[in-house]
Structure 1
């Protein structure tokens, strides 16, 4: 599917350092594609730019990390304008989930040469905030909060691993009251994730098998311990894509998380605080450009 009028949103503060404007100019030259670029600033973020472009261009392309991609997703969900992704961040979870080339030039070529199709993917709502990837509590949230910009700049995706080790040392189990599709569970764990996407940002590794952004379900994943044996079992679960007693897993359309006090959590890349988090699935609300060869069942 070839688009002639496109608009690219560039986040210059994304994790990669590369001459993205030069790449765009080189690849789009002599293609007949009319393209324009907007650059994000602290006063005009990707969400604002994307909202202003609805109905004014055929395709909105975002170059940035998962935070910027989530912003554009929040702006475009429920409308007819599709989003395309050029990975430019640290982990690039969503682009890996969708099988988009991780090399920026290859991702641009995908758009320029039209070897693509549009699919509709799921999003979810957490306390009136739409999200694309996941909500994290416990050590998964602390890991992201503590991986500051300097750490990510110096170490890239390894920054999250460094932060995770620092977080594990001080981790303590929390009690979660969960209402999963109306059924109550009282659970204790060191981290809780409600995810729309399977990919964890490392190669093609997923939390658990059969999780993807087109299945119409949320996946609630609870890890109950951080001792060495538990961590090895979790690693084996992701490596071999098998279920494990270390990770409790529920699939649902809606979940409410009730905590004993206001607690920081991560919704996509945004830090928020609440004592109750209401999360519900929004199936197939966002149109996204992927390669013609993309097969959701193979993810």
Structure 2
């Protein structure tokens, strides 16, 4: 399928450094597709731009990292306006989740040639705020909040790994009361994630096997401790794509997280704080473009 008009939202501060405007012009110069561009600024983010485009374009194409993609998804949550991802960031989690080419020219060529289909993807709500990827607490949140921007620019997604190593040493277990689809569970751990996506943003590694953005479920994953043997088992389970006894895993439609005091958490890339989190899945609430496989009849 092809679109008559595409509006590109470009984040100039994304992880890649490449002439994206030149790439777009080169790809669409001889096509019948009309296109426009908006560039994010300090006082005008991707989400604000996306909301202004509702009813004015056939497709919003996002060039940037996961922060830009999730901001646009949150802005277009529940609308019929589809999103195309042109991966330009550090981790590009959703692009990897949906098998979108990480090479910019390849991703643009898919748009020009119409070798894609629109797919309904789940999102979640945390205290009423939409998210596309996940909600992180504990060391998973610290890994994002404490990652140095200049280090990210130099070594990319490895910056998160280095930050994680630094935060693991100081991590202390936190007590949580979870209501998972109304069943109460008392647990403690150093990291708690409620995720829609399984991809970790590092290669093809997944948090746990079987997590899907289209199954109508969220996955709650708890890491209980950070001793050396536990970390090795977690790393091994990710590498071999096997279940791990170190990680507790529940799939659910709703989860309520009770904490004894306010904690910082990450909703996609946004930092928040709360003492209680009400989280639920909203199946098929955003439309994303995905590649059509060469042997597919879709």
Scaled by the length of structure 2, the TM-score of the pair is: 0.97
Alpha-carbon distance between aligned partners in 1 of 2:17 and 2:196, rounded to the nearest angstrom = 29
For the 8 Å contact 1:121–1:285, the answer to whether it is kept is yes
For the 8 Å contact 1:98–1:294, the answer to whether it is kept is no
Please give the residue correspondences for 1:154-173 in structure 2 after superposition, counting only pairs within 5 Å. Answer: 154-173=154-173
Residue 112 of structure 1 corresponds to 112
Residue 204 of structure 1 corresponds to 204
For the 8 Å contact 1:59–1:81, the answer to whether it is kept is yes
Alpha-carbon distance between aligned partners in 2 of 1:293 and 1:259, rounded to the nearest angstrom = 45
How many residues were matched structurally? 295
Residue 63 of structure 1 corresponds to 63
Alpha-carbon distance between aligned partners in 2 of 1:134 and 1:8, rounded to the nearest angstrom = 25
Alpha-carbon distance between aligned partners in 1 of 2:255 and 2:16, rounded to the nearest angstrom = 35
- Which secondary structure state, in structure 1, belongs to the residue aligned with residue 63 of structure 2? strand
Alpha-carbon distance between aligned partners in 1 of 2:145 and 2:43, rounded to the nearest angstrom = 22
Pairing 1:20–2:20 present: yes
Please give the residue correspondences for 1:69-108 in structure 2 after superposition, counting only pairs within 5 Å. Answer: 69-108=69-108
Once the two structures are superposed, residues 226-269 of structure 1 have per-residue CA deviations (whole angstroms, 9 ceiling, x without a partner) of 11111111111112221111000000000011111111010100
For the 8 Å contact 1:178–1:187, the answer to whether it is kept is yes
Residue 148 of structure 2 corresponds to 148
Once the two structures are superposed, residues 249-296 of structure 1 have per-residue CA deviations (whole angstroms, 9 ceiling, x without a partner) of 00000001111111101010011000001101100010000101299x
Residue 32 of structure 1 corresponds to 32
Alpha-carbon distance between aligned partners in 1 of 2:17 and 2:168, rounded to the nearest angstrom = 30
For the 8 Å contact 1:99–1:294, the answer to whether it is kept is no
Alpha-carbon distance between aligned partners in 1 of 2:162 and 2:98, rounded to the nearest angstrom = 26
Residue 43 of structure 2 corresponds to 43
Once the two structures are superposed, residues 108-150 of structure 1 have per-residue CA deviations (whole angstroms, 9 ceiling, x without a partner) of 1111111000000000000111000000000010011110211
Residue 256 of structure 1 corresponds to 256
CA deviation after TM superposition for structure 1 residue 4, in Å: 2.1
CA deviation after TM superposition for structure 1 residue 105, in Å: 1.1
- Report runs of 4+ in structure 1 exceeding 6 Å deviation: none
CA deviation after TM superposition for structure 1 residue 97, in Å: 0.5
- Which secondary structure state, in structure 1, belongs to the residue aligned with residue 212 of structure 2? coil
CA deviation after TM superposition for structure 1 residue 151, in Å: 1.7
Alpha-carbon distance between aligned partners in 1 of 2:188 and 2:81, rounded to the nearest angstrom = 42
Residue 187 of structure 1 corresponds to 187
Alpha-carbon distance between aligned partners in 1 of 2:66 and 2:294, rounded to the nearest angstrom = 20
Higher mean C-alpha displacement, 151-160 vs 138-147: 151-160
Higher mean C-alpha displacement, 185-194 vs 71-80: 71-80
- Which secondary structure state, in structure 1, belongs to the residue aligned with residue 164 of structure 2? helix
For the 8 Å contact 1:142–1:167, the answer to whether it is kept is yes
Alpha-carbon distance between aligned partners in 1 of 2:148 and 2:266, rounded to the nearest angstrom = 14
Alpha-carbon distance between aligned partners in 2 of 1:51 and 1:289, rounded to the nearest angstrom = 18
Structure 1 residues without counterparts, runs of 5 or longer = none
CA deviation after TM superposition for structure 1 residue 203, in Å: 1.4
Alpha-carbon distance between aligned partners in 1 of 2:78 and 2:58, rounded to the nearest angstrom = 15
